[in-house]
Amino acid sequence: MSGWPHRLLARVDANAATARALAHELAALYGDGPYAWLAPGGFRIDDCTLGALDGGLEALLVACTCDRFCIAVDSAHPADRSRAPSEETRQARRRFRVCHEIAHSFFCARERDAVPVRPWPVGARWEEDFCDAFAHAATGLRCPPARLRS
């Protein structure tokens, strides 16, 4: 992960312009993400059920050993109860959610051969907004869509 842009963003740095710049930097370094960013950034994806269908978690970033992260992602949405989504919609949701979780990693202190740590609590609205802006810059989507086509 020598070329990965290690950042420890603070609230004052977490704005839409920073999110766009960071997404463009990753695209220039590794190609259009998020899947091109997994290996260089030390990320692994686990598809799982987190309760998104019932309005629960859609994805979760979990710090692992040796400066690595696991991204647990649920591609369901409450709208799926009334009608099954297309594969295009499922993949768009997954891409957005993976990008969003990658953005959370920039709020973690990362050191070689150590478990990444967060220096402040999770869940601040400004951090979620930053991660959405990053995912939007990386995917072109505004949020994980309930449905791309009717």
Question: Residues 112-134: what's their mean pLDDT?
Answer: 79
Q: pLDDT at position 45, please?
A: 96
pLDDT in tens, 53-90: 898 899 999 988 777 899 999 988 888 888 888 888 88
Domains in the chain: ranges and CATH = 11-139 (1.10.10)
Averaged pLDDT score across all residues of the chain: 84
Question: Residues 131-137: what's their mean pLDDT?
Answer: 93
pLDDT band at 1 (very low <50, low <70, confident <90, very high): low
Q: pLDDT at position 30, please?
A: 94
Inform me whether the pLDDT recorded for 150 exceeds 50.
Answer: no
Residue of higher predicted confidence among 141 and 2: 141
pLDDT in tens, 33-48: 899 999 999 999 999 9
Inform me whether the pLDDT recorded for 27 exceeds 50.
Answer: yes
Q: How far is the CA of 142 from the CAs of 14, 22, 60, 109, 119, in angstroms?
A: 18, 17, 19, 27, 28
Q: pLDDT at position 149, please?
A: 39
pTM for the model: 0.87
Q: pLDDT at position 36, please?
A: 95
Distance in angstroms (rounded) separating the CA atoms of residues 127 and 124: 5
